[in-house]
Structure 1
Amino acid sequence: MGVERAVAELGVLIYPGAQMAAVHGLTDLFGVANRIAAEHQTAQLPLLRVSHWQGEGDQVPERVYDSHPGPDGGLVAVMIPPSIGGFSESQAPQGLIRWIRQQHAQGATLGGVCVGSILMAESGLLDGRSATTHWTSAKTFAERYPTIKLLADTPIVDDGDLITTAGLMAWSELGLRMVDRLLGPSIASGTARFLVVEHSDSASQCGSNFAPILSHGDASILKVQHWLQSTGATDVSLTAMAERAGLEERTFLRRFRAATGLKPTEYCQHLRVGKAREMLEFTNGTIDHIAWTVGYQDPSAFRATFKKITGLAPSDYRARFGVTPPVSVAR
C-alpha cells in the first residue's frame, strides 16, 4: 500500500500571447520532478499538481488543465510565462491582474519570466521591491515603474514571495527554484540533470535559498510575512511585527512559529541571508556593504550568521558561486 503524499498545486497562467513552449515546458519539468521524488518513496515530499489557468480581458482565469484533479486546496505558486510576441503594458488584462493580486494575498508565491515580470509590476505588488526583466524591456520598465528597483543585469531576483527572471528561456530556472523549495535541492539537481539544463549549485551545496511558507492560511501572519519581504526585515522588532499582525506579542510568537516553522528572529535571519546570497552571486559589492544593505550594522555578526545558515563564509560563498568578479581594492 503506497504512502499518501501531500499535494502542492502550481498554477501556470496562460494570457494572450503567452509562450506555450514555456507553459508545457514547466508542466513537463514538474512532471519529471514528481517522478524523481516518487523514487524516494517517502510521504514527506509533496506531489506537485500542475494546473493551467486561462483568461482574457476582464475574465477571471479559469483552470483549463489539471495534472492531478482533486479537492481545491489553493495555489502554492503561480508561474507567469514569457511572451514572444509584442506586449503592451497598457493592455494588460485587468482580470488577470486582479487574479494575480488575489492569489498573492492568499499566500501564493508569484514567479514571472520576462514579460511575466511586467504583469507582476502592473499588479502593484513589485512596488518598492527588487525585480528584473528582459533586456529589451528594461528602459521602458524603469520609466513606467519608477518605484521598482530594477536589477536589469541580474538573471533572476528571488525575493521570497516574488520571483522575477530576465530571459525568455529562464522558465526552466524558475521551475527548478520551485522544485528546490518544495522537494529539496537534490530533487531539483536531479531534475536539471535529466533535462540537461543549467541549475545553480549553490542550493544543493549550501541548502535551498530561503523559501518562506506562505500557504499556511493564517492571514495575520501572512500579512507580517509580506511586510517583512517588502522591507527586507532590515529594521524590525518583535513589537512592530506583533502590531502589524494585530496580535498580542505572546500570541503572535506562538502563531508565527506554528505557521512558518521558525521563530521571528530566525525567520528574519534567513530572509536577510537569502538576500545576501543573491547579492554575493550576482553583484560585486563588498561584503561589508552587503551586510549593511541586508540589515546588519556589525559585519562580523553578519559573517557569523551567514556561515551558520549556509556553512560557508561570505567570501568563500562568492568565490564558489559568484558570477561577477569581486571588486578590486586599490592598494
Structure 2
Amino acid sequence: MDSVAVAVTGGMLHFELAVAVEVFASAGYEVVVCGPRGVRVGRFGVVPDRGLGAVLGARTVVVPGWADVDAAPGAELVGAVRAAHAAGARVVSLCTGAFVLAAAGLLDGRRATTHWAHTAALAARYPAVEVDPDVLYVDSGSVLTSAGKAAALDLCLHLVRGDLGPAAANAVARNLVVPPHRAGGQAQFVTTPVPAADDHPITALLPWVTANLDQPLTVDDLARRAAMSTRTLTRHFRAATGTTPLRWLLAQRVRRAQELLETTDTGVDAIAEAAGFGTATTLRRHFARAVGVPPDTYRHTFRS
C-alpha cells in the first residue's frame, strides 16, 4: 500500500491534519506523521511518528494548513517538502498549506489555490504562482493544492479515487457522511457580502430584492425602489458589498438556484423561473459560469 507522510511543525492547523490522517488511514494507506518532537498543532500537542526527514520515504507528502500566513514557514519544513518533491513524491497542500509549497518554490509557474480569504495574499507574496481563487482544488499531477476546510476533504477523497478507484473513495465518504465527489473546478462557496450597518442606505433594499428574485428585476428597478439614481445606487453598492448591483443580483439568483437544487426536487425549468433567470438555458449558462458545474451536476453532488 502507498505511504502518506503528513509533514507537521508548530503553527499548523489541526483540522487539516486530522482530515489527512482520517481519510488516508481509512482507505488503507500507511500514514506517517512527520515532524519535530512535542509539536503543537492548533490547540493540541502532537507526537509525530518520525522526524521531518522521513517525508523522503513517502510517495505522497501532505502539508496541512499553515495558521499564520503572515509568518514565513520554517526552513526545515520548507526544505523537507522541497527535497521530497525532488525525490519524486507527490506533494499536497491543504488550505493555507499552499504557503509552504509556495515558499519551497513548488508552485512557481503552476496554477494553485488556497482558502478564498488568503488567495490575494498568496498571489501578492508569490507572483510566480498562478493563483485561482474560484476552485475547490487544483491537481497539477505531482503538486496539488486545495481551498479551505471542506475542500481539503474533497482533495483527499480525489486522491483516493485516483489511486484506488471510485469504490474505495465512496466507502470512505460514506463512513465520513460526506459527498463522495465534488469536482475540483467547482467554485468555493462564498457568501455574498451584505451591509453590516442597519442604517446603510441600501440595507432595506436587499431583503426586498431577495424576496422578489422571481421577478425580472433590473438595476433601474432597484434604483427606483431605493429612491435614488442608478449612479448613486451603484456607489452605495460598491461601498457596502464590494461589487455592482447587477453582479450582486446575479449572485443572489445563482444562490437561490443553489438552495432549490440542494433542498427540492423541482425541475430546472421551474427553478429558472423561481430564481429569475426565465429559462433553463439562461440558468445553466450563468450557473455553470458562477459555480463551475452545471445545475444537474450540482444537485447530484449535494443530494448524493
TM-score with structure 2 length normalisation? 0.54
Distance, in Å, in 2 between the alignment partners of 1:127 and 1:72 is 21
The 2-side partners of 1:113 and 1:72 are apart by 16
| SS of match in other structure, 1:27 | helix
Alpha-carbon distance in 1 for matches of 2:56, 2:11:
29
Among 156, 161, 180, the residue aligned to 1:199: 180
- 1:64 maps onto 2:48 in alignment: yes
Deviation at 1:16, TM superposition (A): 1.4
* Residue aligning to 2:21: 27
Supply the distance in 1 between the matched residues of 2:59 and 2:165 (Cα, whole angstroms).
15
Correspondent of 2:9 among 9, 15, 30: 15
Which of 157, 162, 166 is the aligned partner of 1:185? Answer: 166
Q: Partners in 2 of 1:73 and 1:92 — Cα distance?
A: 19
Residue 82 of structure 1: which of 41, 53, 65 is its match?
Answer: 65
Q: Distance in 2 between matches of 1:16 and 1:167?
A: 19
Pairwise CA distance, 1:201: 6.3
In the aligned structure 1, how far is the partner of 2:174 from the partner of 2:16? 18
Q: Which amino acid letter does the alignment assign opposite residue 76 of structure 1?
A: R
- Return the alpha-carbon distance in structure 2 between the equivalents of residues 194 and 19 of structure 1: 23
**Equivalent of 1:95, from 67, 76, 79?**
76
Cα separation, partners in 2 of 1:73 and 1:8, compared to 1, 3 Å: farther
Give the counterpart of 2:144 among 140, 163, 185: 163
**Paired amino acid for 1:171:** A
Name the structure 1 match of 2:100. Answer: 119
Distance 1:153 1:181, change over 3 A: same
- Tell me the CA shift for residue 131 of structure 1: 0.3
Contact 1:55 1:96 in 2 (8 A): no
SS at match of 2:59: strand
- Within 2, Cα distance between the matches of 1:54 and 1:179? 24
Aligned 8 A contact 1:33 1:191 in 2:
yes
Letter in 1 for 2:16: A
CA distance in 1, matches of 2:182, 2:70: 36
CA distance in 2, matches of 1:119, 1:73: 16
Matches of 2:126 and 2:55 in 1, distance apart?
Answer: 34
Once the two structures are superposed, the pairs formed by residues 170-249 of structure 1 within 5 Å of their partners are 170-200=151-181
User: Are 2:36 and 2:48, in contact at CA under 8 Å, matched by a contact in 1?
Assistant: no
Residue equivalent to 1:142:
123
Deviations 1:138-195 (A, max 9, x none): 2211111111111011111111111111112332122212211221121001111111
**Contact kept? 2:56, 2:80, Cα under 8 Å:** no
**TM-score, scaled to structure 1:** 0.50
Q: Give deviations 1:211-251, integer Å, cap 9, x for gaps.
A: xxxxxxxxxxxxxxxxxxxxxxxxxxxxxxxxxxxxxxxxx
1:325 deviates by 6.4
Listed as ranges, the gaps of 5+ residues in structure 2 are: 38-46, 189-283, 295-304
Q: Distance in 2 between matches of 1:282 and 1:20?
A: 24
Pairs within 5 Å for 1:277-296 = none
Instruction: Show structure 1 runs of 5+ residues with no match.
Output: 1-6, 35-47, 57-62, 203-277, 284-317, 327-331
When the two structures are aligned, how many residues end up with a matched partner? 184
Residue type at the aligned position of 1:65: D
Deviations 1:256-306 (A, max 9, x none): xxxxxxxxxxxxxxxxxxxxxx66x569xxxxxxxxxxxxxxxxxxxxxxx
Paired residue type of 2:94: V
List structure 1 segments (4+ residues) > 4 angstroms apart after TM superposition: none
Is contact 1:55-1:95 (8 Å) kept? no
Tell me if structure 2 keeps the 8 A contact 1:8–1:49. Answer: yes
Query: 1:106-136: CA deviations, max 9, x gaps?
Result: 1111111121001001111110100001122
Q: What RMSD, in angstroms, separates the aligned Cα atoms of the two structures? A: 3.1
Cα drift, residue 73 of structure 1 = 8.8
